[in-house]
Amino acid sequence: MTDSSTPTITIATRKSPLALWQAETIRNALLQLHPHIAVELLPMSTLGDKILDAPLAKVGGKGLFVKELEAALLDGRADIAVHSTKDVPMALPEGLTLGVICEREDPLDALVLPLAPDGSAPNITSLDDLPIGAIVGTSSLRRQCQLQQLRPDIKCESLRGNVNTRLAKLDEGKYDAIILAAAGLRRLGFADRISYAIKPQHLLPAVAQGALSIELRSNDAATQALLQPLHHFDSALCVLAERAMNYRLQGGCQVPIAGFAELGADNSIRLEGRVGAIDGSELLIEQHQITFDVGSHNDAQCIAQAEQLGETIADRLLARGARVLLDQAYDNQ
């Protein structure tokens, strides 16, 4: 953040409609909290936005969506970057930190069917309602693996591009259905396109799915102070537990890993993790729950316990052979 009579915060963001929506949301929240500051956007094209003809797993993973934004933070062109946390690699560049994890939106995956001839969006009540041999668009190995476990007859085909592009491909008849994050659809005003919200027991979400986070320079205490009211402690506990599991597994979007944590009314946190074979032939599932005091929203001990929970789930998965499945996935790249 620059020092001037009117402090200015510059937000690095991708140019996709969803990324711009996310950045504008943070901009508006900051202006509401701090009317005396100015907030500007720095839209950028990332390598992940430019390479659309190959699955992410083949070209380097979701880190391709953040590298350019992080470069802008490090060289001072931007003060913060707003991310879908599921796109943020576990290891951040030296000098950067995820200073804020915002309140989590709907974490589930959504099945979307083509529009009916009358323009309405069909609804179904189960994945079993898809026809035999249905072609489902998704480039996520996590989704593909779990879908193959549930419906071995389904054919998964690659699907890239922003949300609008993916919906257009679906409505053009290229797929019988596609799977997108429910949060992205809701944020862009496409909630009515959700044909079926897939239950987590059937399709466990990606680590940190539905949560926005804000990355900034580690030594920028002034900006961190302005951002702090946007931090949501309960969401952070869940997200950090999931990310700790993913970090222990050395995971990324190149391998079929799923993780989802929830807080209970009894001050408990429950985490489920899954690792699968890329062909869907095997799916390892582990879950565990701990109870702690979440009353203090600055309790480092709670965060440490949540991260330990993630490491415990990862260790259990590794003990059951997860490393073999993960190595097979990397070898298949």
pLDDT-derived band of residue 294, with 50, 70 and 90 as boundaries? low
pLDDT over 90 at 266, yes or no: no
pLDDT-derived band of residue 298, with 50, 70 and 90 as boundaries? low
pLDDT digits (tens, 9 = 90+) for 100-120: 999 999 999 999 999 998 989
Mean residue pLDDT of the chain comes to 90
Task: Identify the CATH number of the domain defined by range 109-198.
Answer: 3.40.190.10
CATH 3.40.190.10-classified regions of the chain: 1-102+211-231, 109-198
Which H or E run includes 285?
strand 283-291
pLDDT for 254 equals 67
pLDDT over 90 at 333, yes or no: no
pLDDT digits (tens, 9 = 90+) for 191-216: 999 999 999 999 999 999 999 999 99
pLDDT for 329 equals 83
| Cα–Cα dist 263/267, whole Å | 7
| Cα–Cα dist 194/115, whole Å | 11
pLDDT for 54 equals 47
Query: Which residue, among 303, 210, 222, has the nearest Cα to 30 in the 3D structure?
Result: 222
Catalytic-residue membership of 87: yes
Tell me which CATH homologous superfamily contains domain 232-333: Porphobilinogen deaminase, C-terminal domain (3.30.160.40)
pLDDT-derived band of residue 253, with 50, 70 and 90 as boundaries? low
pLDDT digits (tens, 9 = 90+) for 10-57: 999 999 999 999 999 999 999 999 999 999 999 998 655 544 444 444
pLDDT for 163 equals 93
pLDDT for 229 equals 97
Q: Which overall architecture, per CATH, does domain 1-102+211-231 show?
A: 3-Layer(aba) Sandwich (3.40)
pLDDT for 59 equals 44
pLDDT over 90 at 61, yes or no: no
| Cα–Cα dist 320/286, whole Å | 10
Phi, psi of 165 (to 5 degrees): -65, -40
Are β-strands 196-198 and 109-112 bridged in parallel, bridged antiparallel, or unpaired?
antiparallel
pLDDT for 330 equals 79
Return the minimum-mean-pLDDT range out of 78-82, 156-160, 292-296: 292-296
pLDDT-derived band of residue 278, with 50, 70 and 90 as boundaries? confident
Set 87, 106, 176, 220: catalytic member: 87
- CB within 8 Å of 213: residues ≥ 6 apart: 82, 83, 85, 88, 98, 100, 101, 102, 239
Report CA torsion sign: 307, 246, 167, 281.
Answer: negative
pLDDT over 90 at 279, yes or no: no
pLDDT for 51 equals 47
Which percentage of the chain shows pLDDT scores above 70? 89
pLDDT for 50 equals 47
Buried-state track 235-246, b at ≥16 Cβ within 10 A, e below 16: bbbbbbbbbbbb
The letter for the amino acid at 271 is L
pLDDT for 145 equals 93
pLDDT for 160 equals 85
pLDDT over 80 at 1, yes or no: no
Task: List the beta strands (DSSP E) in 193-282.
Answer: 196-198, 212-217, 257-263, 268-276
